[in-house]
Structure 1
Amino acid sequence: MSERNVLGDELQPCGTDPVTGYYRTGCCETGDDDPGNHSVCAVVTTEFLAQQQAGGNDLTNPRPEFGFPGLTPGDRWCVCADRWLQAREAGSAPPVVLAATHERAAEVVPLAVLREHAVDVPADPSSLL
């Protein structure tokens, strides 16, 4: 059975540059061995990165031992559902790609809330040029 997104469809890739996901597959797959529920595909912003750093979760500095390159604004990254919700409560929630957000995100963040922050990224981004 394939992984599902919060819309009930097949989970789409979140990002490959840098390669994201708890399992570093490019998808926001999550499982019982993922204590952080890295299920929300976010397009990280300066405000989100600053808010996370202030809260002790530095996402800007590389951590090679975890295969983590460090993030810059605009990167698509699978973030922990509870961290995303904390950022929303602080007024710095980054946009969410619903098609690439795992259905388990809705266990923490209501789908209606995720939809408020949704961005639509086409399968072929060159169409935006």
Structure 2
Amino acid sequence: MEKDDSVNVLGTPLTVCGTDPVTGFFRDGSCNTCAADRGSHTVCAIMTAEFLAFSKYVGNDLSTPRPEFGFVGLKPGDAWCLCAGRFLQAHDDGCAPQVNLEATHARALEIVPLEVLRACAAH
């Protein structure tokens, strides 16, 4: 699997999203992507209790540890490469997490408008 260019939504080099726990489609800490990443794990989101509850409610429990998959479970404050479609769904439902724009891959823009990402940018 060849990675797409590591460029963020601002047109600059993609920065690391999170390493504790290690995130990303490639589990390299960055929201890098490729053609095989069907979920577009490209939005670097900072988890909140509200978003984690929403995600669990819509069928993707990110807070419960799954040791059989090497997944420790997320808690508020953790940075995670979120599927762009799930981020947009959370935004539309009023519970989007904050976003690290420098660590959000440019491919996210295929699904989420830049204005939406900017409105949720972590300060």
TM-score band (shorter)? over 0.9
* 4+ long deviations beyond 6 Å: none
Which residue number corresponds to residue 72 of structure 2? 69
Deviations 1:89-128 (A, max 9, x none): 11100000000000000100000110000014xxxxxxxx
Q: CA deviation at 1:4?
A: 0.2
Which residue number corresponds to residue 119 of structure 1? 122
Which residue number corresponds to residue 49 of structure 2? 46
Q: What amino acid sits opposite 1:63 in the alignment?
A: R
Q: Which segments of 5 or more consecutive residues in structure 2 lack a partner in the other structure?
A: none
1:106 aligned to 2:102? no
TM-score (norm 1): 0.89
State the SS of the aligned residue for 2:118: helix
Does 61-70 or 48-57 show the bigger shift? Answer: 61-70
Corresponding residue to 1:90 among 79, 83, 93 = 93
Q: What amino acid sits opposite 2:63 in the alignment?
A: T
Q: CA deviation at 1:67?
A: 3.1
Q: How many residues align?
A: 120
Which residue number corresponds to residue 123 of structure 1? none
Write the distance in 2 (CA, Å) between the matches of 1:9 and 1:110. 17
Instruction: Quote the RMSD (CA, aligned, Å).
Output: 1.2
Which residue number corresponds to residue 78 of structure 1? 81
Q: Which segments of 5 or more consecutive residues in structure 1 lack a partner in the other structure?
A: 121-129
Deviations 1:47-80 (A, max 9, x none): 0000010001100112234332210000000000
TM-score (norm 2): 0.93
